[in-house]
Amino acid sequence: MEKNIRKVAIVTGGASGIGKAVSLKLFEEGHQVIICDKNIKAARLLEKRDIQEGNEIVSQYLDVSNSKSVKSVFKDIFKKYGGIDILVNSAGITTPPTPLFKKSDKDFKKVVDVHLMGTFYCMREASSYMLRKRFGRIINISSRAGIFGLYGKCNYSAAKAGIIGLSHTAAKELFHHGITVNVIAPGGIRTPLSSPILNKKIGRRSRLDLVVGEPIDVAHLVSFLAKEESYLINGIVIILDGGGYLWHGMDEKFSNIIKSI
Ligand code: NAD
C-alpha cells in the first residue's frame, strides 16, 4: 500500500469527547472519517467536507452493542468507500458508582455490552474487511481502570480489562496480515462522560494521580498509532495519564518533602 494516502476511518463514539477529537484530527490529516454513534444528532453537527482534498466527516447511526447493526453498517461502509483501514473504538457509557456487592445484573451487563461486546463486534467486522487489503489499524480506547480497577465501577473495569485481552489476542492473530491492534488506557480526560467525577480544575501541575488530560491528547496518540509507519507497534497498552499510575500511598508524603527542599 502507498504511504500516506487517504484512509477510511471508522470512529465509534465519535460524536463526543475523545471520539470527537479523534474524528477531527483524522479528518485534518486528510482521511475519510465515518462517525458511528448512537447520538446521531450530535454526530451530524460534525459533518464536513474538505473541498480541496475531497475528504469528509460523515455520520452514521449505530448502537455498537447490536451485533446485527454493526455487521450491516460496516458492510455498507465497505461497499461505499471500498475499504475500512482504521477503526477507533471509543463508544462508551458509565453507570452510577456502586460497590460490587450492590452492583445490579442490569448495570453490569449494560456496560459490558457497550464496551466489550461493542468493541468485539466492531473489531470482528472491520478486521474481516481489513484482511482483504492486508492493511489495518485498530485502536481501542480502554482505561486505566481496566488495569488498576476503579472504586464503584467493577462493571466498567471488567469491560475495559476485557478489551485489553481481546486486543492482545487480535494483535497476535492479525499482525501477519498487515493489521495492528493497540490499546490506549487514559486516566482522567475532560469529556462529558467524566465530568461528574472530574468537575474540579486539575491541571498538569497537580498531584500526579490527579492529572487530567484533554481529548486532543488522546487524538494525537491515535493519529500516531494509525500511521502506516507505526506498523511495528502492535499489542501495546499505552497508559496515557502523565505517569499518574506510578502514584502510591507513600508518594504524597515524600512529594511534599521533595518540594520543600
Ligand atoms: P463521551 O460520553 O464524551 O463520548 C462517548 C460517545 O459514545 C458518545 O458520543 C455516545 O453517544 C457514544 N455511545 C455511547 N453508547 C453508544 C453505543 N451503544 N453505540 C454507539 N455509540 C455510543 O465519553 P468519552 O469520555 O469521550 O469516552 C470515550 C471512551 O474513552 C469511552 O470508551 C470511555 O470509557 C473511555 N475513557 C474515557 C476517560 C475519560 O476520563 N473521559 C478515561 C478513560 C477511558
Distance 4 CA to ligand 1 centre (A): 28
Ligand 1: which of 11, 20, 90 to mutate, judged by most atoms within 8 Å of the beta carbon? 90
- Is residue 231 part of the annotated active site? The answer reads no
Instruction: Quick: pLDDT tens for 81-122.
Output: 999 999 999 999 999 999 999 999 999 999 999 999 999 999
- Residues in the chain, overall count: 261
Closest among 181, 141, 142 to 160, alpha carbons compared? 142
Residue 80 has pLDDT above 80, yes or no: yes
Q: Longest Cα pair distance anywhere in the chain, in angstroms? A: 64
Q: What is the pTM of this model?
A: 0.96
The active-site residue out of 121, 156, 231, 245 is 156
Question: At 189, is the secondary structure helix, strand, or coil?
Answer: strand
Closest residue CA from atom 18 of ligand 1 = 63
Report the helix count and the strand count for the chain, using DSSP H and E.
9, 10
Residue 179, CB half-sphere, CA atoms under 13 Å: how many? 28
DSSP-assigned beta bridge partners for residue 180? 137
Average pLDDT rounded to a whole number, residues 122-132: 98
Which residues, 6 or more positions from 182, have their beta carbon under 8 angstroms from its beta carbon?
138, 139, 140, 167, 171, 225, 233, 234, 235, 236, 237, 238
Distance 176 CA to ligand 1 centre (A): 30
Q: pLDDT (tens digit, 9 = 90+) per residue, 235-252?
A: 999 999 999 999 988 888
Which among 56, 47, 55, 124 is positioned nearest to 89, based on CA atoms?
Answer: 124
Q: How far apart are CA 173 and CA 159, in angstroms?
A: 21
Q: What is the rounded distance in angstroms from the CA atom of residue 260 to the CA atom of residue 164?
A: 40
Element housing 179 (H / E) = strand 179-186
Mutate to test the pocket of ligand 1, among 16, 66, 117 (most ligand atoms within 8 A of CB): 16
pLDDT of 204 reads: 60
pLDDT tens-digit readout, 137-178: 999 999 999 999 999 999 999 999 999 999 999 999 999 999
